[in-house]
Chains A and B, each alone.
Chain A
């Protein structure tokens, strides 16, 4: 089990550094997918939410890290 965890940790580390940013990205993607499937005529709007949601998530995450100086 320990060996499996030590193997998977670097793999997970490829994609997740800050848990909050990863969570925000996943939530935005889920919201986009939900919008696109519920309102097929509004897929472009869902795409705009995806793009600007990610930009906003990045900006707020970085500013939060800079404010708190608690960065891994």
Chain B
């Protein structure tokens, strides 16, 4: 039976991570639309969404053929790698070791590149523009697809996780269409911090399940793991900040 304790982290992880990825994809699509018009931007984005849908449709039946413990183990390892990658980056950004992701800067760079290409390849530019939009949607969307499958497949939560992801994408697309500007105010690093924490916790949990570890409290263990990852991440930010300051002196 699906419990709220395991469904809520899965849905919120899918929603928050999709929010981050959708904001990043939207920035590129908006840049393409601003420089080259909305037709190639929209067509590229739609083609990207079609490819992502195809991937989900093809992957879904395959997942049911894999033995559950193997699926949990494989997804757990990928989730742990993915989550710890995000968490590491979020910690380093929060500690000031690497700069924060700046959507306004990405938008400016992308529009400058497209304008440069406009001068050189006027005739083919619609293709370049559509391709840029397509690539952004596919690359960011693949992360969303992976997260939805990873947090949902082990316990039959693909549908709730998908709803969380789609809600985030619709929210971002709606906001982007309304303001026609990159969503620079979304606290991306805070979201990455939260999602990295959750995905790492899910990763540890699934690997343990795949190996037959009898986690105390079963699904509730995910929340305890997330709390531990969060605590360690906060300590890492504080220590990282101190080391960074010492290195600068």
Question: Which residues on A are within 8 Å of B, measured CB to CB?
Answer: 10-11, 14-18, 21-22, 25-26, 29, 32-33, 36-37, 40, 43-44, 46-47, 50-51, 54-55, 57-59, 61-63, 65-67, 69, 71
Using CB atoms, name the residue of chain B closest to A30: B77
User: How many contacts A-B (CB < 8 Å)?
Assistant: 117
Q: List 14 A-B contacts (CB under 8 A).
A: A14-B82, A16-B81, A17-B88, A21-B85, A22-B85, A26-B77, A32-B208, A44-B213, A51-B225, A55-B228, A58-B91, A66-B241, A66-B243, A67-B247
CB-CB contacts below 8 Å: B131-161 with A: 139, 142-143, 146
Docked Cα-Cα span, A9 to B84, in Å, equals 19
**Residue on B nearest A35 in the bound complex, by CB:** B211
Sort chain B's interface into a size bin.
Answer: 35 or more
Instruction: Collect the chain B residues with CB atoms within 8 Å of residue A11's CB.
Output: 142
The listed residue (B80, B200, B240) touching A62 by CB distance below 8 A is: B240
A57 to B82: give the CA distance in the assembly, Å. Answer: 14
Q: In the bound complex, how far is the Cα of B143 from the Cα of A36, in angstroms?
A: 30
With A and B bound together, what is the CA distance between A26 and B78 in angstroms?
10
Task: Choose from A36, A37, A55 the contact partner of B229 (Cβ within 8 Å).
Answer: A55
By a beta-carbon cutoff of 8 Å, the part of chain B in contact with chain A is: 73, 77-78, 80-82, 84-85, 87-89, 91-92, 95, 97-98, 139, 142-143, 146, 200, 204, 207-208, 211-216, 225, 228-229, 232-233, 235-236, 239-241, 243-244, 247
Residue contact B228 to A51, C-beta cutoff 8 Å: yes
Given contacts A36-B212, A50-B204, contact A71 B92 (CB under 8 A): yes
A29 near B77 (CB under 8 angstroms)? Answer: yes
